[in-house]
Amino acid sequence: MISNDIVDKIKDVMRGANVLESKEERLCYSYDATRQEFLPDLVVRPASTYEISEILKIATANSIPVYIRGAATGLTGGCVPIKGGIVISLTRMNRIIEIDEKNLIAVVEPGVITYDLHREVEKKGLFYPPDPASFQICTIGGNIAENAGGLRGLKYGVTRDYCLGLEAVLATGEIINTGSRTLKCVTGFDLTSLLIGSEGTLAVITRVFLKLLPLPEKKITVSAYFRNIDDAANTVSEIISSKIIPVTLEFMDNDTIRCIEQYLKNIYPEGTDTILLIELDGKAEVIEREIEQVRKTCEKCGAFFCAVARDDKERAILWKARSSISPALYQIAPKKINEDICVPRSVIPEILRRIKKIGEKYKLPIPCFGHAGDGNLHVNIMLDPAVYNIKEAEKAVNEIFENTLELHGTITGEHGIGNTKIKYLEMEVGHDSIRIMKEIKKTFDPAGILNQGKMFE
């Protein structure tokens, strides 16, 4: 509980508006995409860096937990207020301040929706590549906090690759500027990269300087159908070895395809076991040549059917199944543990074999799909609490992570740690790195108010 005195101070900062106290209002800020729910004591919706700085000073002085919230689409509990306290929602800070066409730079507030930025820059023939699955509703601030990836990561990288600089407020209220409005900058330690992916535990990001690219001329998509996973995995290696880097190289395994089939009916040719969805972009003459090469590689490696889409309408048909995975999965079980391991792409067949074995051992369906090009796999341990034992599912997760690390992978490619993966972090990064991370956290946030209970024990 926050005392009336402190609530009044916060209301003063906010000039009486955008401070939400009723239970109904607070409930709207209690959950995220993990379906966890924790009720905050107070919700504040600031519109300026100054307001955020003043609120943080009050919170630090009184050791009140603070949780920063964008669109709450995170998959590891990054924004849920597990210790109550104050939720600061940044959705009112949603201005695209500038699109600098001469320098290919955008300056935005953290509450800007990723899709809105996509559309605005594309109107000017420019391109902001990061596209997490939730891009139509998630915010740039959340993308920065989680270092969001997306479907275009193979060719274009992740959010960190596009963030040149930040304005951020420390837990103690000081405003810092990191990085620069320039493409290169080596003044001191790279605090920009340190804040990116720090999941709201170090500072509140209030302004973002993003690098843009010229919009590619054209896109072509191929969907290739295989009778077994090994042929599909070989195809991925062959495409990359032939020096072609697609924008997107997605795969769906047999379990995933069966779920989609149940959901959409008769969408795939008979005998489909694994699907690759491959998208190229670039200059028209190059990708026409390359897509032909990709199609031939697919067929040589065992694809029994390839569909090519050259315009948006055709592409929408090929993408429909990929976009339906989430609702389709919920058809086979009401709950899922959604992990996003990442492995060197050459060991994808091996990790998938091991995951299937783990699934058999614990009698759990584990459909897998994801970004085969960069080795980032979405592993879905499907749970029906009426049938399956959640403890068994957790053992399965543990074994999947152990196998991932053994194959030189990472336990999370783009979802982050939040509160759901805390107990696994040390498996990967080790005790000494965690000690250093905790000390860095203390430097930025001495009272430990920011995102309490996340990232570390």
Contact pick of 249, 328, 437, 450 for a copy of itself (by CB under 8 A) = 437
Closer CB to a copy of itself, 76 or 89, in the complex: 76
Q: What distances in angstroms separate CA 423 from CA 79, 124, 355, 428, one per listed residue?
A: 18, 45, 20, 10
Closer CB to a copy of itself, 270 or 439, in the complex: 439
Contacts of 153 (CB under 8 A, 6+ apart): 130, 371, 373, 374, 376, 414
Of 129-148, which residues contact a copy of itself (CB under 8 A)? 146-147
Count of beta carbons in the 10 Å neighbourhood of residue 27: 13
Contacts 24+ apart (CB under 8 A), 119-123: 120/96, 121/212, 121/215, 122/215
Closer CB to a copy of itself, 264 or 429, in the complex: 429
Residue from 226, 373, 249 nearest 299 by CA: 226
Of 28-57, which residues contact a copy of itself (CB under 8 A)? none
Q: Is 457 in the site for a copy of itself (CB under 8 A)?
A: no
User: What is the four-CA torsion angle of 128, 246, 154, 207, rounded to 10 degrees?
Assistant: 0
Distance, in Å, from the CA atom of 36 to the CA atom of 264, rounded to the nearest integer, reads: 29
Contact pick of 77, 153, 367, 453 for a copy of itself (by CB under 8 A) = 153
Question: CB under 8 A: which stretch of 67-75, 175-183, 247-255, 258-266 binds a copy of itself?
Answer: 175-183
Distance, in Å, from the CA atom of 10 to the CA atom of 111, rounded to the nearest integer, reads: 21
Helix (H, G, I), strand (E, B) or coil at 21: coil
CB 13 within 8 A of CB 49: no
Contact pick of 82, 112, 144, 196 for a copy of itself (by CB under 8 A) = 196
Nearest 5°: phi and psi at 102?
A: -70, -40
Question: CB under 8 A: which stretch of 42-50, 218-226, 247-255, 338-346 binds a copy of itself?
Answer: 338-346
Distance, in Å, from the CA atom of 56 to the CA atom of 46, rounded to the nearest integer, reads: 11
Residue located via tokens 């609490």 = 385
Closer CB to a copy of itself, 331 or 433, in the complex: 433
Contact pick of 10, 154, 222, 400 for a copy of itself (by CB under 8 A) = 154
Closer CB to a copy of itself, 18 or 293, in the complex: 293
**Site mask for a copy of itself (CB under 8 A), range 79-118, x = bound:** ---------------------xxxxxx-------------
Contact pick of 20, 61, 96, 240 for a copy of itself (by CB under 8 A) = 240
Contact pick of 296, 300, 408, 423 for a copy of itself (by CB under 8 A) = 408
Contact pick of 82, 106, 411, 449 for a copy of itself (by CB under 8 A) = 411
- Cβ 14 to a copy of itself, closest distance in Å? 24
Question: CB under 8 A: which stretch of 43-51, 79-87, 178-186, 291-299 binds a copy of itself?
Answer: 178-186
Contact pick of 5, 17, 24, 188 for a copy of itself (by CB under 8 A) = 188
Contact pick of 4, 23, 35, 214 for a copy of itself (by CB under 8 A) = 214
Tokens of 303: 């694809």
Closer CB to a copy of itself, 16 or 214, in the complex: 214
Q: Is 243 in the site for a copy of itself (CB under 8 A)?
A: yes
Q: What distances in angstroms separate CA 244 from CA 213, 233, 275, one per listed residue?
A: 20, 16, 19
CB-count burial class (<10 Å; 0-12, 13-18, 19+) for 22:
exposed
- Cβ 22 to a copy of itself, closest distance in Å? 35
Distance, in Å, from the CA atom of 423 to the CA atom of 411, rounded to the nearest integer, reads: 11
Distance, in Å, from the CA atom of 136 to the CA atom of 131, rounded to the nearest integer, reads: 9
Q: Is 187 in the site for a copy of itself (CB under 8 A)?
A: yes
